[in-house]
Amino acid sequence: MEPSRTSRIVSFSLLIGFILIIGGLFFKLMASFLVPLFLAVLCVVIFRPWHAWILRRCRDRQHLAAGLTTAVILLVVFLPAFSILTLAAIEGTAMVANLELNTIRQRVAKLRQRLGLDLPLADQIQPIDAALRSLARGSDLAARAATGQDRPAPTPVTPDRLLEMVLDLHRRVTAEPATFPQGDLDRLMEDLQRLKMESPGTPLYDDALASAFREFNEFRTALCGGPYRAQLIEWANPTDDVLRQWRGRIAVKAQSWLLVAGGATTAFVAQLVLGAFVMAASIYFFLLDGPNIVRTLMRLSPLDDRYEQELMGEFDQASRAVVLATLLSAIAQGVLAFFGFWLAGLPSVVLLMLLAMVMALVPFIGATVVWVPACLWLYVYEERTWPAILLAVYCAAIVSTADNFIKPWVLRGKSKLHPLLALLSVLGGVQALGPLGILVGPMIVVFLQTLLNILHRELTGADRPRPAAAP
């Protein structure tokens, strides 16, 4: 007796529900291994010609050939990558450790002198600016104490002391009219006189302090030669407090990374070892049983076989076009840049090489954002003009143009991804998936194009009138 239509619908619905539940649990189990599995698939696709060559040399002994190919992939790809990352981390740690306040101050002063951005009367301008800011902080604390929000703190600089500092500045400017532009400091002194008569935290005190700030900034702008030059000079003349803030932010960020890494060292190492083991095992079994795995997936998939074959062909082509061509180009640019940085005598060349490789993965940006600042460092800070010029010529003529030769040679006209889509897919992939998005983003776009082409063919075939049957 055949089951009724209702019972079949209920049974089918329950089957779909169980599949969804078990599929969700399966995805949860496999979620932590998706990245190693994806990298393993990419390695198998890219190194398939090597595996075929090794298989012929091993006289079709599948297990031996798969093991040898897996060992070659691990030695050729992951050992150099791990070494470069380790050396770059060591250089970066040493660079952060050498960030002392005196070193930063000396480098900023040398750069400022090189660019001619010294602040006139810096020995008096900066203390007055610091004193005004100190009075503003004291006024804010007093206002909060008046409302019961905080306890007032003593102000290290009084309006009387600030007025004396401004008077000394006025005498110096007046005594050297040929050296310094004549700015009117009388209104600033009037504001400070009013400031002495008021209590901190009151509206009249705040009005006088704001007016003093305005008059002082106008005088400093005239002293520097205009608002634009004044802004440049302000950026080039950070105070010790600003330098301490810079160093503190860098140190806190670096320490937080180190604490996170140190606090989770065991878990991180265990996860890394487990991921490497899963990836190596996956590469071996994909090489050994790849065709059987593909046939099983095609049999279980509800898609038509020709569509599945087309998607797999696009995956193979995208893996070579997007991954292989991009990675080879980035590696070549990084290695070429490394020789240039090393010959120019730059510090932390391995770190610079790693940055050049990473930035070379981004279309239209490339390693330029790394070697241009390096050339400016040589020219502006180290005052080595010829090494900076030669490095710029070398990088512009060789490093940045290597992409134009390597990618066409690897792709051989097979790329179907528009340059604008390539850029947006890389940037969007990094934003959504992190570093792996550099590889996954373009491949998602390629798959979407393939699926849309399949849909277009299906719709076109559905709309096309069928031929009339023969009489």
Residue 116 to residues 16, 110, 232, 386, Cα–Cα distance (Å):
74, 10, 10, 21
DSSP class of 147: T
Asked if 162 and 213 touch (Cβ cutoff 8 Å), the reply is no
d(CA 355, CA 207): 50
pLDDT tens string 343-357: 988 888 888 888 888
pLDDT tens string 227-267: 888 888 777 777 666 666 666 666 565 555 544 444 444 45
Q: Given a cut of 80, is residue 415 above it in pLDDT?
A: no
Asked if 131 and 162 touch (Cβ cutoff 8 Å), the reply is yes
How high is the pLDDT of residue 393? 92
Higher pLDDT, 295 or 395: 395
**pLDDT grade, residue 84 (50/70/90)?**
confident
How high is the pLDDT of residue 272? 66
d(CA 359, CA 378): 21
Higher pLDDT, 9 or 340: 340
**pLDDT grade, residue 180 (50/70/90)?**
low
Calculate what percentage of the chain has a pLDDT beyond 90.
2
> Of 418, 420, 425, whose CA–CA distance to 442 is shortest?
425
- Most confident range (mean pLDDT) of 42-46, 238-242, 273-277, 328-332 is 328-332
pLDDT tens string 139-156: 655 555 555 555 444 456
Other beta carbons less than 10 A from residue 458's beta carbon: 12
Residues 6 or more apart whose Cβ sits within 8 Å of residue 99: 247, 250, 251
d(CA 384, CA 377): 9
**pLDDT grade, residue 195 (50/70/90)?**
confident
d(CA 293, CA 322): 24
**pLDDT grade, residue 212 (50/70/90)?**
confident
d(CA 395, CA 112): 27
d(CA 3, CA 7): 6
How high is the pLDDT of residue 308? 73
Q: For 379, list phi and psi in degrees, rounded to 5.
A: -80, -45
Q: Given a cut of 70, is residue 71 above it in pLDDT?
A: yes
How high is the pLDDT of residue 249? 66
Count how many residues are written for the chain: 471
**pLDDT grade, residue 417 (50/70/90)?**
low
Collapsing DSSP to helix, strand or coil, 8 comes out as helix
Mean pLDDT across the chain: 75
| Span 392-413, average pLDDT | 78
| Span 393-420, average pLDDT | 74
d(CA 438, CA 422): 10
Asked if 130 and 400 touch (Cβ cutoff 8 Å), the reply is no
> Of 368, 375, 367, whose CA–CA distance to 344 is shortest?
375
**Residue 337, exposed/middle/buried by CB under 10 A (0-12, 13-18, 19+)?**
buried
Q: Which two tokens stand for residue 288?
A: 């050994």
Higher pLDDT, 79 or 153: 79
> Of 167, 169, 179, whose CA–CA distance to 124 is shortest?
169
Q: Given a cut of 70, is residue 127 above it in pLDDT?
A: yes
